[in-house]
Structure 1
Amino acid sequence: MVEGWISPDLLRWTWRHPGRAASRNCLLAVLALLMAATAARAQLAHAPDFAARAHDETGMATRTLACTTCHGVQGRATPGGYFPRIAGKPAGYLYNQLLNIRDGRRSYPTMSYLLENLTDGYLREMAGYFASLKAPYPDPVAPQEPPSVLEHGRKLVFQGDAARSLPACVQCHGKAMTGVNPFVPGLLGLPRDYLNSQLGAWQTGRRHAQEPDCMAAVARLLSAQDVSAVTAWLSAQAVTGDGAAAARAEQPMPLRCGGVAQ
């Protein structure tokens, strides 16, 4: 057992819930990888900023093997649909999500146990490393919804709904929907199952961000039909260029967001 990374309680919880196959399989693979990662963890100094050591000068590829067990080689995601791509996402966004999971604002038991003893500096370094990876995106999946649903999704993405004070997705996530550095993630290249699950988690209060939690406010304005339409349209779009996030926002954000410096 690797002290501080996997607790006996997590092992017992995982094996007593056979329906949680994804968590159990991920945990088994993680256990095999963490032994090599633990020794290096103790030697890590706090990174001074997001970009520091982003090019693996301290062996981050080895020390983040546990991450790639679920998130895919180089963090490219896996075909299962529930583990998102983390490669190339803005470093500030990745860092915030690691903090949110470690500190209990996002709930995913396996990751919470992996991160609970890691310092802010270690999490910054992890975020910087994955943000630096430039890996190709897979082709999008063909849409399963009728054109009318896809068009509804497209309108919400680009226009929002002023009657409900619902901002368009592009107002925060960028015109190309590949995100805005350093804190706003892209919406393209993500599986529809993942998009559905995260919007649902915000609607039900299972996912939180730093206050004010702007995505929770947006998600609560969406109907089930809205969520289905938006995720169907987004998941059917190809990622433009190399998928890099925009260097800066082109307009002020329509809502205050605690995880975004404004």
Structure 2
Amino acid sequence: MRRGLTVRVLGSALIAGAWPLLAHAASVQELVSQGNGHGAPPCQSCHGADGAGQAAAGFPRLAGLDAAYVARQLADYAAGTRANAVMQPIARALSEDERQAIGTYYSRLPVPAIPPSSQPSANDLGATLATRGRWSQRVPACEQCHGPGGVGVGAHFPPLAGQPASYIEAQLKAWQQGARRNDPLQLMQHLSRALSAEDIAAVAKWFAAQPLPAGSGGR
């Protein structure tokens, strides 16, 4: 085969091989920015074009979260083990492949820089619960599962650092009230019931104030 023809043939093969990936990437971008046309609205309408979320509205950051964690939360919304009047119908309108694609998409987004905020003191109630726990009530430190400063650990313990305080508080109350039941070994259901409203507000505020360096996603 002549060299010029070989290059054209190989080039066509590479384009053909790349096309499904390019089409998939385009479809994921459309899914996030436009919705799927089957009942799921654009993800970015609540979570922002950069996946940073909206602190004022209590919408969490998705950028940089573990892909498996995001996909599993969507599946749990669809199954009803995580109750939310907004997210449940959206999750049910997504296919399993779409949930996986959304998880992968957000895991690869850079983690947005978080504006500096005043840090609670080391003896603050929220800091105590987050870093030392309350062993008299068998409440371990939040950092034992969610990592130092709440940076997150794997697919089961998401980052808490820099998430809106209103979002963290709402999730603790959801576990406490049984509206959310998708935690490993029901750890959060048990722990949340040992916390008072004051405890929940304090620890949510502490994690919201923790710095999370900007960088690449994909943890």
1:73 matches 2:52: no
Selected match of 1:168 from 137, 141, 144: 141
C-alpha distance in structure 2 between counterparts of 1:142 and 1:209, whole Å: 32
User: 1:173, CA displacement in angstroms?
Assistant: 0.7
Which of 210, 214, 218 is 1:237 aligned to?
Answer: 210
* 2:67 corresponds to which of 91, 113, 124: 91
Matched, 1:126 2:94: no
Letter in 1 for 2:70: L
1:82 to 58, 62, 67: 58
Call closer, same or farther: CA 1:164–1:123 in 2, change over 3 Å. same
The answer to whether the 8 Å contact 2:114/2:214 transfers is no
Q: Given the two structures, how large is their TM-score scaled by the length of structure 1?
A: 0.65
Q: TM-score, normalised by structure 2?
A: 0.76
Aligned residue in 1 for 2:188: 215
Query: How far has the Cα of 1:81 moved from its partner?
Result: 3.4
Distance 1:245 1:217 in 2: 30
- C-alpha change, 1:245 and 1:174, in structure 2 (3 Å) is farther
1:215/1:90 CA distance change after superposition, 3 Å: same
Matched AA of 1:179 = G
After superposition, the C-alpha distances for 1:118-172 in whole angstroms (9 at most, x for unaligned) are: 33222111111111111423314446xxx67962211211111122111111111
Give, in whole Å, the separation in 1 of the partners of 2:67 and 2:59: 18
**Cα drift, residue 109 of structure 1:** 2.4
Matching residue of 2:157: 184
Contiguous gaps of at least 5 residues in structure 2: 1-20, 34-41
Note if 1:204 corresponds to 2:172. no
Counterpart pick for 1:59 among 6, 23, 27? 27
5+ unaligned residues in a row in structure 1: which ranges?
A: 1-52, 247-262
Q: After TM superposition, where is structure 1 displaced by more than 6 Å over at least 4 residues in a row?
A: none
Q: Which of structures 1 and 2 has the bigger CA Rg? A: 2
Mapping of residues 121-160 of structure 1, within 5 Å: 121-142=97-118, 151-160=124-133
Does the 8 A contact of 2:60 with 2:167 survive in 1?
A: yes
The number of aligned residues is: 191
Change (3 A) 1:102 1:140: farther
**Aligned residue in 2 for 1:38:** none
Residue 179 of structure 1 aligns to a residue in which SS? coil
Does structure 1 residue 104 correspond to structure 2 residue 80? Answer: yes
Contact kept in structure 2, 1:179 and 1:245, CA below 8 Å: no
Counterpart residue type for residue 139 of structure 2:
L
What is the rounded CA distance, in whole Å, between the counterparts of 1:174 and 1:200 in structure 2? 21
The answer (yes or no) to whether the contact 1:150–1:230 under 8 Å persists in 2 is: no
Matched residues in 1 for 2:25 and 2:214: separation? 27
Cα distance in 1 for partners of 2:153, 2:218 equals 5
Report what 2:7 is aligned to: none
Q: CA offset at residue 199 of structure 1?
A: 0.9
The structure that is helix-richer by fraction is 2
Cα shift at 1:211: 5.9
1-structure distance, mates of 2:59, 2:110: 18
Q: Is the 8 A contact 1:156 1:169 kept in 2?
A: yes
Percent sequence identity over aligned pairs: 31
Mapped contact 1:178–1:245 kept (Cα < 8 A): no
